[in-house]
Amino acid sequence: MEHYVGLDVSLRSCAVCVVDSRGTILHERDLPCEIEEIAGYLTALPVSIERVGFESGTLSQHLFYGLKAEGFDVVCMGAMLESG
């Protein structure tokens, strides 16, 4: 089964949520927004991670390139605003 990670990023912390391919939440944790902390947590999980995703923002480049360097498949998504 495939497992995916969503990051909700702020300047000081990062909420990590790991789900399976059915959307079932397997793990949740708040971590400092540091590559070493996030990568260490994800690497220690008893499942392999298919992809890590997060919304673009202030730390996007830092997280994208840092997690890529740690061997994760990373996607950074832009917010879509609907005009009415």
Where do the structural domains in the chain lie, given as residue ranges? 3-77
Does 84 have pLDDT greater than 70? no
Q: How far is CA 36 from CA 41, 57, 59, in A?
A: 8, 19, 14
Q: pTM (2 decimals)?
A: 0.87
Q: What is the pLDDT of residues 4-53, one digit of tens each?
A: 999 999 888 999 999 999 999 999 999 999 999 999 999 999 999 999 99
CA dihedral for 34, 36, 39, 44, sign (positive or negative)? negative
3-77: in CATH 3.30.420.40:
yes
